[in-house]
Structure 1
């Protein structure tokens, strides 16, 4: 673009004449030539070959009113320059690994100086931690994302087409230099060249972690015995950690003592992780359990995997105990009810298919008998009700033995307590009884 400060275009039909466009074109035809009559600046912005020529431009210098200071003829020689080709549609792109990527851009040239020559250079790359590519070298194992077999270029039409499926090993960012050259040896600059650098990013499609070993040979244990097993997993595109969770709070991991843990899984660990299950089951855990283990990665979006297996915990029979029973003093005129608790941890077993504990109470005296027994929910206790009829026992001291046994008679417990029975007759007047009594004052 060239500028010159003058006056205004001369007041005539065709003040602009060129050796290319002839003498019969009006001012509006030459849209690349403009004159600001206020500033006197003439601008010639010839950007295309058909705008180059020798221009005879007549301009007039005047002030408002009829007064003119005369016209001048200016000659401008605008020479042709070979314009470099242009890329149309070439830009940074992001696409997914394991999915077909199709991409097209065009090369255009004002002078249509064909055939075009296109070169592609992979300058650098930054790949995922699991990739085996070496970005310091060229080639399919280095920084070259694709090769000539994946694209075509029409040197006449300028159409470039790419179609390929990037692999998981290709995940990363690639800096690519596209350079195109036209064919023109008559106008400078000869064989004009244009370069454009773009970034192609291959995004990862997160793959879910998977199990390799889930306590495969250790799926049963016994109450009160320390249990250990391993859960091994792999996640081929994880670079932080895997979260393990189980559906039972007692199925715990040694690193946290809870039913969840996080284990590092990354390139340093060859994308493998191992969590150690560690717990000592009690009576509440005796039974057959459907254990669900879930593993979750940190990808975007996160992916999970689950497995369910049966786990058996066998019972170890616990001994029953009986609470202390206080001695009782009773009267023949009343009946009495007392309560006594027996404890057996096997009552905590919820899976009655494995073992259904019940406690049975007996008394050695039918007049101090067991009237009922009731399990106290969510505890290891059963309460017995003892009904006592002192009048049937008779006055005196009576030793009563209360015994409790568990369901398979594995254990028993007993308590002996004393019932002292007293008569409770109505009061009577002593006979003979003096009913006439004489008294003296002050005596």
Structure 2
């Protein structure tokens, strides 16, 4: 990998991979739901859709798509909590034209009102499809309980009314806050030579004017408030066939506690193995059909989530055992030395495997650039090796054991009578 910063602040990352004669061009903005107030919730995602529409150089959607066909482009985008990505994959001999095409889209979007009215419906339709998922009711309720009045900052899919009624002026507002070179990463990967890429990028993007402000100083991301107490709730949905229990804590982030993020990954990996005490006490015992724990690394308050599918006939017994296991998480014998070393090795291998498919690898790199740094990614395995039992215990004691959490239980109407009293009392 080769990383440079242009004078206008644009980070340019090049990954050389000549295994196939293709090139991928991806541009990433530090945007996403963490920048959204309730009035803009879901509009980073809508902006992503409008990116692939008319702009100054391609006057209509038809012209844009004609150019896509001419260059042999496969394109897509994604919107998450802390970044929005746009990518083109095309034959390597069209790279220069692809860079110019991306330049037109990122710098000169048109936000045509008629096109946007159609896209409002498309984006809201994606939201509705997500709502049809059996687990949506629980995840949505969990986010509202966990994040409180900052719910919009952790909700990339958005709000129906905001999406349906969005207008071009709101797209301009987003562009004028977050779409500057000094808030973006341009990644070029595939069958390319880095020096050639840097020359082409400088020629095409060097005139892109940087902002005279830091958007995160001008519009600071509000800090998530620590939970003050345990918050239990339950949700009834006809869509779920089995009960689902989620317990979520507010975990570390890459701004304030990077070492804990490595410990979180190691701890989660160990507990998610069939040989772990968590799995043996819940799944192997028959109390649960599934039990996993995970941590999402973010620059702002990454959640730690324990996900359990209780045996429908043993919901209360399963919950009691979950609590017992949490109380043991920091015990000296809860994980073995072998499990710790295996986890570090396997996580390192997993990261190496992420580089095997270049078109996917660029998405991994853009995520880490936005939510941590490229250095975080490149030194990940080195820092994993430093994780000790004491680090795991410190992580558990700081973020999980005896700490406030939100616990949500999803059941269907037939299981409503089996909801434990502590969830009913909090309803």
Q: Which has the higher helix share?
A: 2
Structure possessing the higher relative contact order (Cα contacts under 8 Å, 6 or more residues apart) = 2
Q: Shorter chain as normaliser: what TM range?
A: under 0.3
Q: Which has the larger radius of gyration?
A: 1
Q: TM-score, normalised by structure 1?
A: 0.19
